[in-house]
């Protein structure tokens, strides 16, 4: 215990006496990415890094050994150099790929185009090499609309080849931007410590970092873990461990911006946000910081999300939000979405690769790099607590000339969104903050918005989700309070919504064999009919049946993917699988609650239609103060 106390004292002191961030003079070429052959964890498929097309090869983190008659391809998620993005957004016009080789074989650099058609741009036969450096200088000039570069390796019969230390490098800028990673954590001490350990174990990724901020907002603190003292020692003065009030993801990530802005000699600095519960690929830091260092103008650089429970799946290539209808996370046109990165496109038969260059609307903050120039121009994030803080900030930045680019091949593994239930307390922040974002960054079509919210309310009521219905109502009511609702950073709202939802039994998850008041053996699955072709007619019929208290089924179990309003609306009691797959929710028809919430909800939505424009003006006027350094200093109690 004494050792941990000493470590806390040292890291606390470091935050007060930290060195000032300043630009660096480059030493040699700038590493854009490493050519790796396996991932940071055994759960990660090696084929995401290098694919053995035929023959036998032994793949380790930084090297691969090819036996005779073997082909290994780098045309993989992590193996490809995203040439199209470098050509469009950076001033680099050449990239060098080099490797240390031993033995005999062929090294070939391939390229693709927007259609994924491969071509060979350089190749070299190797014979009798012994730790020989092989390098190719490659033009970044035929990739504007799409395409990438990668390295393929081949041996013939009788040949054996070892390839190691593959590096993709570019000419450095005159000055290297200082970069700080910010990890926001809340009672995920073990996950956060694992990521700090991953950084400490990969010193090459730390070369691009000046600081690592950990904004700990929880009661189960990271520095309480036995391994923290050693990690802190290994990271040295790069680690800045901070404790602060729980202000959600918005408050945790903003702390990094706040600290860097307060300790910099230059406008040219970066802050890289990273979730505490990701499985980190440390090369992400190298790729994102190098890209940012060579962009022609400051831009927000986003990393991609791969699904942690299905590590071969890409969540989305790039996404945007449809603000007027409150829809986040929409894949941009031509984007891969929930894509098997080890599979092929069913139509073309080609590998699932993001060949076409995409423009993103925003990027999730599981990994996202924000230049200080953006903060200086547009201010800090809004104190949203969490949900929509990432989208709002990107759309605000875009309005000031700072687009968001989601960089292929820069990825981390994050918990699959599909396994998180929609009917949770955080839905309040999603709804409230989406309306605020729409008010700030869209034409705020109130008639359309009110139709969307009414449709949501009706679906929730038909689905016997009374707690979720009340969550929606409170989100609208709190929006109508105006910007004052954001003054405490979301602390009171979080407490209130949890208390409100606790009054609704269907918001509670139960063990499937211990459902209160229902014998486990009495719960059988009743599957849904196909989606109605005449949905409006079906909706009217379900509403009439509910008003009359009529149900087709008294009790039944419904799988999560079949829990549609038109099916759940047929039940008196429905036992529905929770999205986590760890239990069930019990929804029971309650006519009084349905009437009360329906009347209340329609009244609030009507208020939004009448008062929304005036409230919109209040939020727009309040943005400069809410996003100021002074406001965040107050929230941090500094």
Catalytic annotation, residues: 390
Closest by alpha carbon to 593, among 474, 462, 487? Answer: 462
Tell me what percent of the chain is helix, strand and coil, each rounded to the nearest 5: 35, 25, 35
Burial (0-12, 13-18, 19+ Cβ within 10 Å), 270: buried
Sign of CA dihedral 353, 359, 363, 369: positive
CA terminus-to-terminus distance, the chain: 28
Q: Parallel, antiparallel, or unpaired for β 553-558 and 571-577?
A: parallel
* Paired tokens of 276: 């505490």
**Residue indicated by tokens 């070299």:** 124
Containing 204, the helix (H) or strand (E) segment is: helix 203-206
Give the dihedral sign, CA 283/318/89/168: positive
Instruction: State the SS3 of 8-56.
Output: HHHHHHHHHCCCCECCECCCCCEEEEEECCCCCCCCCCHHHCCEEEECC
Q: Which residues pair with 110 in a beta bridge?
A: 120, 150
Torsion of CA 419, 424, 430, 432, to 10 degrees: 170
And the tokens for 380?
């800090």
* Residues 571, 581: Cα–Cα separation, whole Å: 21
The residues, ordered by sequence, that sit 6+ positions from 125 with a Cβ below 8 Å of its Cβ are: 105, 106
Under 8 Å CB-to-CB from 230, ≥6 apart: which residues? none
Specify whether the CB–CB gap between 265 and 21 falls below 8 A.
yes
Give the containing element (helix H, strand E) for 272: strand 270-275
Q: Of 435, 172, 434, 125, which is closest to residue 291 (Cα–Cα)?
A: 172
Q: Which residues contact 443 (CB under 8 A, 6 or more apart)?
A: 324
Q: Residue 108, CB half-sphere, CA atoms under 13 Å: how many?
A: 16
Q: What is the 3-state secondary structure (H, E, C) of 558-624?
A: ECHHHCCHHHHCCEEEEEEECCCCCCEEEEECCHHHHHHHHHHHHHHHHHHHHHHHHHHHHHHHHHH
Q: Are 52 and 71 in contact (CB under 8 A)?
A: yes
**DSSP-assigned beta bridge partners for residue 146:** 356
Q: How far is Cα 150 from Cα 83, in angstroms, rounded to an integer?
A: 10
CB under 8 Å to 5, separation ≥6 — which residues? none
Long-range CB pairs of 121-125, under 8 A, 24+ apart, other chains included? 121/149
């Amino acid at each position: 215990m004494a050792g941990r106390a000493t470590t806390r004292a040292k890291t606390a002191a470091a935050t007060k006496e930290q060195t000032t961030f300043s630009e660096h003079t480059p030493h040699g070429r700038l590493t854009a990415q490493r050519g790796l052959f396996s991932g940071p964890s055994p759960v990660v498929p090696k084929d995401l890094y290098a694919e053995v097309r035929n023959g036998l090869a032994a793949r380790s983190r930084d090297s691969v050994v090819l036996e005779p008659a073997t082909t290994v391809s780098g045309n993989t998620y992590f193996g490809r150099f995203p040439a199209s993005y470098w050509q469009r957004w950076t001033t680099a016009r050449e990239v060098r790929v080099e490797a240390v080789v031993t033995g005999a074989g062929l090294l070939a650099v391939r390229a693709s185009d927007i259609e994924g058609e491969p071509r060979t741009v350089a190749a070299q036969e190797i014979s009798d090499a012994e730790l020989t450096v092989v390098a190719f200088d490659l033009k970044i000039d035929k990739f504007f609309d799409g395409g990438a570069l990668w390295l393929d390796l081949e041996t013939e019969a009788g040949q054996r080849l070892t390839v190691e230390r593959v590096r993709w490098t570019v000419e450095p800028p005159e000055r290297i931007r200082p970069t700080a990673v910010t990890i926001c954590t809340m009672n995920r001490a073990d996950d956060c410590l694992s990521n700090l350990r991953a950084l400490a174990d990969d010193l090459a990724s730390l070369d691009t970092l000046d600081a690592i901020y950990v904004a700990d907002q929880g009661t189960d603190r990271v520095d309480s873990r036995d391994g923290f003292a050693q990690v802190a020692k290994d990271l040295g003065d790069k680690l800045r461990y901070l404790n602060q009030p729980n202000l959600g993801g918005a408050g945790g990530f903003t702390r990094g911006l706040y600290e860097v802005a307060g300790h910099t000699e230059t406008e040219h600095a970066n802050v890289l946000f990273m979730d505490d519960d990701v499985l980190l690929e440390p090369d992400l830091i190298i790729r994102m910081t190098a890209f940012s260092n060579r962009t022609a103008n400051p831009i927000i650089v986003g990393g991609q999300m791969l699904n942690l429970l299905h590590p071969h799946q890409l969540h989305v290539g790039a996404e945007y939000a449809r603000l007027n209808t409150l829809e986040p996370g929409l894949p941009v046109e031509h984007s891969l979405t929930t894509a098997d990165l080890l599979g092929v496109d069913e139509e073309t038969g080609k590998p699932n690769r993001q060949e076409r260059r995409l423009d993103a609307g925003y990027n999730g903050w599981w990994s996202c790099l924000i230049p200080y120039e953006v903060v200086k121009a547009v201010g800090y994030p809004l104190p949203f607590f969490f949900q929509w803080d990432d989208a709002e900030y990107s759309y605000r930045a875009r309005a000031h000339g700072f687009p968001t680019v989601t960089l292929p091949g820069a990825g981390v593994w994050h918990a699959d969104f599909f396994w998180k239930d929609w009917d949770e307390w955080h839905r309040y922040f999603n709804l409230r903050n989406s309306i605020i974002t729409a008010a700030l960054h869209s034409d705020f079509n109130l008639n359309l918005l009110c139709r969307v919210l009414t449709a949501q309310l009706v679906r929730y009521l038909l689905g016997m989700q009374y707690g979720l219905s009340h969550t929606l109502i409170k989100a609208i009511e709190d929006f109508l309070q105006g910007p004052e609702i954001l003054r405490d950073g979301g602390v009171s709202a979080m407490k209130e919504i949890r208390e409100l939802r606790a009054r609704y039994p269907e918001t509670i998850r139960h063990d499937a064999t211990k459902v209160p008041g229902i014998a486990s053996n009495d719960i059988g699955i009743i599957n849904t009919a196909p989606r109605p072709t005449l949905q409006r007619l079906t909706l009217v019929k379900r509403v009439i049946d509910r008003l009359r208290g009529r149900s087709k089924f008294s009790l039944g179990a419904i799988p999560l993917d079949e829990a549609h309003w038109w099916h759940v609306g047929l039940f008196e009691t429905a036992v529905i699988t929770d999205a986590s797959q760890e239990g069930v929710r019990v929804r029971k028809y309650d006519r009084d609650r349905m009437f009360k919430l329906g009347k209340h909800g329609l009244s609030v939505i009507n208020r939004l239609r009448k008062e929304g424009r005036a409230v919109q003006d209040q939020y727009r006027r309040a943005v400069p103060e809410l996003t100021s350094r002074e406001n965040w200093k107050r929230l941090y109690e500094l």
